[in-house]
Structure 1
Amino acid sequence: MNSVNKTRIQVLESLIKDEPNRITNLANASAWLNECLDKINWVGFYLVENNELVLGPFQGKTACVRITIGKGVCGTAAKEREILRVPDVHEFPGHIACDAASRSEIVVPLIKGGTLIGVLDIDSPICDRFSENDQQFLEAFAETLVAYL
């Protein structure tokens, strides 16, 4: 991971380390990512509740409120518990279009103690916006965040 991304992780940690409230930490995490990442149009969290993903703190336009685990990019990432980086969401079978402007997406499952607690979802209006470097950064970002949730 490059030094810029290491610094971004350190800033995240400083924002959340002394705050025990999960929603507050997720809100600040989404705001921080919105400041850090360029060429995105939505960043936020979906949290597991009653075996579905429910909208949590986010930055961007209004969003889909509930996503069935296994459906769309978020639901598939949650079911498979793997990061999904989708270069063109219009080519992803079953993509759920909350914002028609979104073209690419990355979803990072949030897993704590072996339990899926939610996903980090980021959309971009640019095709193939998310790189391997972005994926590595967001994986480290999610691991740091989950440690404090």
Structure 2
Amino acid sequence: MFDDIQLKNYSELHGALDALLEENLNITANLANASALLNHFLKDINWVGFYLYDEQLEKLVLGPFQGKPACTTIEVGKGVCGTAYRGNDVFIVDNVEEFPGHIACDARSKSEIVLPIYKDDKGIGVLDIDAPIYERFDEEDRVGLIEVVEIIKKYL
């Protein structure tokens, strides 16, 4: 469906994501397609996906993703994902080795951005993106990916 489309900027990504997700209201299918689209669009990344909050486990659990196999659970408040989720705050980490308590699922990852997903004050999970280079993510990524999360939330 998107093989021939070359998305040039976040605005185009947002339009493509909205069109892709409106076809299906299943959360797993939508998050799988969102991670695939982000993997196609974003350059210099090695992992993109979702960790979803499991109320019974009281942990974040691996959801749809693109990349190498990953950690299956993350405690709330631990690592970049758990910290971002607990504080409902976007984290950009220029060097993951300098983040206290960083959880290394892929040793190639050097930088990371994590965006919490909350809807109606209820924690859903996080969007996690890793890169094999330092300082990969910037303000443009933060703003563009916040809008990605907003689009995803419309279909949850």
Give me the TM-score of the superposition, normalised by structure 1. Answer: 0.97
Query: Does 1:143 pair with 2:137?
Result: no
The whole-number CA distance in structure 2 between the counterparts of 1:9 and 1:87 is 25
Q: Which letter does structure 1 place at the counterpart of 2:15?
A: Q
Please give the residue correspondences for 1:50-61 in structure 2 after superposition, counting only pairs within 5 Å. Answer: 50=55, 51-61=58-68
Q: Which runs of 5+ in 1 are unaligned?
A: none
The whole-number CA distance in structure 1 between the counterparts of 2:112 and 2:106 is 11
Q: State the secondary structure of the residue aligned to 2:39.
A: helix
Give the match for residue 106 of structure 1. 113
The whole-number CA distance in structure 1 between the counterparts of 2:11 and 2:121 is 25
What's the CA shift for 1:6?
1.1
Give the match for residue 19 of structure 1. 24
Please give the residue correspondences for 1:1-149 in structure 2 after superposition, counting only pairs within 5 Å. Answer: 4-50=9-55, 51-149=58-156
Alignment deviations for residues 44-100 of structure 1 (CA, whole Å, 9 cap, x no partner)? 000000221000000000000000000000000000000000000000000000000
How many residues are matched?
147
The whole-number CA distance in structure 1 between the counterparts of 2:13 and 2:109 is 24
Q: State the 4+ residue runs in structure 1 displaced beyond 3 angstroms.
A: none
Q: State the secondary structure of the residue aligned to 2:89.
A: coil
The whole-number CA distance in structure 2 between the counterparts of 1:128 and 1:20 is 35
The whole-number CA distance in structure 2 between the counterparts of 1:113 and 1:16 is 20
What's the CA shift for 1:111?
0.8
Query: Alignment identity in percent?
Result: 52
Q: State the secondary structure of the residue aligned to 2:9.
A: helix
Q: Which letter does structure 1 place at the counterpart of 2:123?
A: L
Give me the TM-score of the superposition, normalised by structure 2. Answer: 0.93
Q: Which runs of 5+ in 2 are unaligned?
A: 1-7
Q: State the secondary structure of the residue aligned to 1:98.
A: coil
